[in-house]
Amino acid sequence: MIKIGNIELPDHPLLLAPMEDVSDPPFRRLCKKHGADLMYSEFISSEGLIRDAMKSKMKLDIFDYERPVGIQIFGGDEEAMAQSARIVETVQPDLVDINFGCPVKKVVSKGAGAGVLKDIDLMIRLTKAVVNSTHLPVTVKTRLGWDEDSINIDEVAERLQDVGVQALTIHARTRAQMYKGHSDWTHIERIKNNPRIQIPIFGNGDIDSPQKALEYKETFGLDGMMIGRAAIGYPWIFDEIKHFFNTGEILPPTTIKDRLDAAKNHLIWSMEWKGERLGIVEMRRHYTNYFKGIHGFKPHRLQLVTTDDPIELLALFDKIADEYKDYVIE
């Protein structure tokens, strides 16, 4: 059993990555239903929380059926990070996670996310400010370093543990790689094998199949793994990996009905949480992923992304289900 503070997780837990504009409550609900053991909110700007920015505050919504669930914050100012952690604590998540890994320019240019990889002392000060401002367990997600010539994760892991971080997730790429090239989990394996490291170490990067998940589990010996992009439009990845871990067998492929039911639930829950209009519009980005590889689906996807009336949209799902009732996904 893996423990983060008082949170108990199963052996080799599967974590859902915090992904901007993806990891909202409706999506998390689907992933929880299909086997995710620990989930995180989309990352939230500490400055946005303090300004009471509507979008940032909305990201604080969590629900009991999601637990355990963490809220992830980012920022480059110690006082703002401390203050935002205190705000986060008021909604009673199970933990607070700090993002030191986001590589996108708009975050890095503010000295936050992966931008902090250039200044380990600042990273430690920001982390300490959060740890000292909350009673919740504090965890961190980061990358190997800024680029290939400045991989500093060994020092980072030890110093984060020393200031009170209770688990560490490492995306096995540098900031310079963004999401390209191959992740290199040998660096994370080295952290896990460091006798000084006592906290759980989770790996992230390139887990996109049960076979690869088992290979990485057996090869690198980490405490668990975080899955991000492979779960977008495919929440079944968690069930499939767990089944393969336990039995060595691959679950049968999802059916068109499985995918339609998941997308329909995702839409319904999005409308309930965001309101009808916003729920419908923001759901449109997900349809391509749900129905990837289904022959002749393009006209139906066009209808899904252009229909504005919720009753017509839900009826459209039923119509598509009837049309594809004999279709087998290969």
pLDDT over threshold 70, residue 200: yes
Q: How far apart are CA 169 and CA 223, in angstroms?
A: 10
pLDDT over threshold 80, residue 241: yes
Task: Report the SS3 class of residue 291.
Answer: coil
So what's the pLDDT on residue 112? 75
- pLDDT tens digits for range 67-81: 999 999 999 999 999
Q: How far apart are CA 287 and CA 276, in angstroms?
A: 17
Q: How confident is the prediction for the chain on average, in pLDDT?
A: 92
Q: Which of 188, 177, 195, 248 is nearest to 224 (CA)?
A: 188
Provide the 8-state DSSP code for 113: G
Chain length of the chain? 330
So what's the pLDDT on residue 53? 67
So what's the pLDDT on residue 146? 82
Output the six-digit token pair for 188: 């994370």
* Of 40-44, 48-52, 214-218, minimum mean pLDDT range: 48-52
Output the six-digit token pair for 62: 């969590």
So what's the pLDDT on residue 39? 96
So what's the pLDDT on residue 110? 74
* Residues in contact with 233: Cβ distance below 8 Å, sequence separation at least 6, in sequence order: 286, 288, 289, 290, 291, 292
Once rounded to an integer, what is the mean pLDDT over residues 211-236?
Answer: 96
Give the pLDDT band of residue 328 (cuts 50, 70, 90). Answer: confident
Contact 103, 175 (CB under 8 A): yes
pLDDT over threshold 90, residue 324: no
Q: Which residues are catalytic?
A: 102
* Of 25-39, 116-130, 238-252, 316-330, minimum mean pLDDT range: 316-330
Give the pLDDT band of residue 242 (cuts 50, 70, 90). Answer: very high
C-alpha separations of 197 from 10, 33, 79, 287, 288 in Å: 20, 32, 28, 42, 41
Q: How far apart are CA 330 and CA 313, in angstroms?
A: 27
Model-wide pTM > 0.75: yes
Binding-site annotation, residues for FMN: 72, 141, 171, 228-229
Give the highest mean pLDDT range of 43-47, 52-56, 88-92, 98-102: 88-92
- pLDDT tens digits for range 120-163: 999 999 999 999 999 999 999 999 988 878 799 999 999 999 99
pLDDT over threshold 70, residue 317: yes
C-alpha count within 13 angstroms, C-beta hemisphere, residue 72: 25
Contact 204, 173 (CB under 8 A): no
Output the six-digit token pair for 147: 């680029």
Contact 200, 167 (CB under 8 A): yes
The dihedrals phi and psi of 168, each to the nearest 5 degrees, come to -135, 130
The dihedrals phi and psi of 6, each to the nearest 5 degrees, come to -95, 0
Residue with more model confidence, 86 or 56: 86
Buried b (16+ CB within 10 A) or exposed e, 7-22: bebeebbbbbbbbeeb
Burial class (CB in 10 A: 0-12, 13-18, 19+), 180: exposed
Q: How far apart are CA 230 and CA 56, in angstroms?
A: 25
So what's the pLDDT on residue 54? 65
pLDDT over threshold 80, residue 101: no
- pLDDT tens digits for range 260-309: 999 999 999 999 999 999 999 999 999 999 999 888 899 999 999 999 99
Residue type, 311: I
